[in-house]
Amino acid sequence: MADVQEELKQLREHLPAWVEASRLHAAKGKVAGYIPELAGTPANALGITVMDASGECVTVGDCDLNFTMQSISKVFTLLLALMDRGEEAVFAKVGMEPSGDDFNSILKLELVEPGIPFNPLINAGAIAVTSLIAGSGPAEKTKRITAFFSRLAGGRPLVCNEAVYRSEAATAYRNRSIAYFLKENNVLEAHDDVEEVLDVYFRHCAIELTCAQLARMALVLAHAGRDPLTGEALIPSRYVQIAKTFMVTCGMYNASGEFAIRAGLPAKSGVSGGILALVPNRYGIGVIGPALNRKGNSTAGVHLLETLSQHFGWSLF
């Protein structure tokens, strides 16, 4: 690997052309329509921020676009749940394996014993993890999640996009089915009100940010839980190790193997078209490209990350 200054120089030079080349791949994808409020997002948009440990950024494309975290939030609710409850309690409720199914699948909850979700980065697992966040009720849990995310994103308070939240909450028949099934399987416990758990889940999925804020969150993970800009230890390194491992094995859903082969970086995507990725000890990366492939990942965003990783030899493997 070249040194950081050399890589940043090359990024400044080549990234605009790489973004335009990857943008062409947006035509192969489709903006998520099952959350009605997301359907109006510009399909052709593509933006990226790469941030180094000193906070220096290379930002190209449609980075002014605010977008909701959606499934990217699952990495950070997992981290908060681990900090609140510890490993043993969390992994009593979710497994550690890729599911091999779509992110919103309910299938294995009935087929496999015990009926706990396969991992925390699919919807079923993330809903279970959300139930573990400490707090006296949904409002306090949401407040703690938002404060934690905001701190990782650099300090400016992040807010929930109310329109996206309402749109998802009003139409989430599948997630509701999953959550009630989790209750039936005792993954959600007697004291867990299913609708309250779902409400916290929809709200953290609808937290809105920019590529630069996403890159900053990724940067903390790239530095084992310490914010390199402030020196503050924000997350225990063991939990970051767990989260990064899940990002490699399950972060791009049922395309995680392919992404590991082509890019070889810990990453997490969301149905808004956002992708968080990181190069350990080097960069935090935030990408937005709303058109998705069949597996729910940004077509242009995936292409762009693969291009960068292959050019710079960033693969971990």
Ligand X SMILES: NC(=O)CC[C@H](N)C(=O)O
* Binding residue numbers for substrate: 71, 123, 168, 175, 201, 253, 271
d(CA 104, CA 98): 13
Q: Please pick, among 19, 74, 165, 269, the residue that the annotation labels catalytic.
A: 74
Using the rule CB under 6 A, is 131 a contact of ligand X?
no
Instruction: Pick between residue 204 and residue 282 the one whose CB is nearest to ligand X.
Output: 204
Site for ligand X in 165-184 (CB under 6 A): 168, 175
Q: Please pick, among 50, 150, 165, 201, the residue that the annotation labels catalytic.
A: 201
Instruction: Pick between residue 160 and residue 212 the one whose CB is nearest to ligand X.
Output: 160
The closest alpha carbon to 197, from 173, 175, 164, belongs to 175
Number of amino acids touching ligand X (CB under 6 A): 11
d(CA 222, CA 236): 13
In the residue annotation, 34 being an active-site residue is answered as no
Instruction: Pick between residue 7 and residue 192 the one whose CB is nearest to ligand X.
Output: 192
**Omega before 114 cis (within 30°)?**
yes
In the residue annotation, 237 being an active-site residue is answered as no
- Binding-site positions: 71, 123, 168, 175, 201, 253, 271
* Structure token pair of residue 218: 């990724």
In the residue annotation, 74 being an active-site residue is answered as yes
d(CA 264, CA 96): 19
Nearest distance from C-beta of residue 38 to ligand X, angstroms: 9
Selected from 81, 205, 220, 308, the binder of ligand X by CB under 6 A is 205
Count Cβ atoms within 10 A of the Cβ of residue 64 and give its class: 0-12 exposed, 13-18 middle, 19 or more buried: exposed
What is the Cα gyration radius of the chain?
Answer: 18
Using the rule CB under 6 A, is 251 a contact of ligand X?
no
Binding track over 61-90 against ligand X, x by CB under 6 A? ---------xx-------------------
DSSP conformation class of 283? E
Instruction: Pick between residue 18 and residue 103 the one whose CB is nearest to ligand X.
Output: 103
* Structure token pair of residue 190: 């007697």
- Helix (H) or strand (E) holding 277, with range, is strand 274-279
Residue with tokens 């350990």: 280
- Residue 167 C-alpha from the chain's centroid: 20
In the residue annotation, 253 being an active-site residue is answered as yes
Binding track over 5-34 against ligand X, x by CB under 6 A? ------------------------------
Using the rule CB under 6 A, is 299 a contact of ligand X?
no
Instruction: Pick between residue 48 and residue 164 the one whose CB is nearest to ligand X.
Output: 164
Helices and strands counted in the chain (H then E): 13, 10
Selected from 18, 67, 76, 103, the binder of ligand X by CB under 6 A is 103
Contacts of 201 (CB under 8 A, 6+ apart): 126, 127, 130, 175, 179
Instruction: Pick between residue 60 and residue 271 the one whose CB is nearest to ligand X.
Output: 271
In the residue annotation, 165 being an active-site residue is answered as no
Greatest extent of the chain over all pairs of C-alpha atoms, in Å: 57
d(CA 287, CA 50): 9
- Contact criterion met (CB below 8 Å) for 119 and 95: yes
Using the rule CB under 6 A, is 271 a contact of ligand X?
yes
Q: Please pick, among 187, 253, 256, 283, the residue that the annotation labels catalytic.
A: 253
Using the rule CB under 6 A, is 270 a contact of ligand X?
yes
- Catalog residues that contact ligand X under the rule CB under 6 A: 70-71, 103-104, 123, 168, 175, 205, 270-271, 296
Active-site residue set: 71, 74, 201, 253, 271
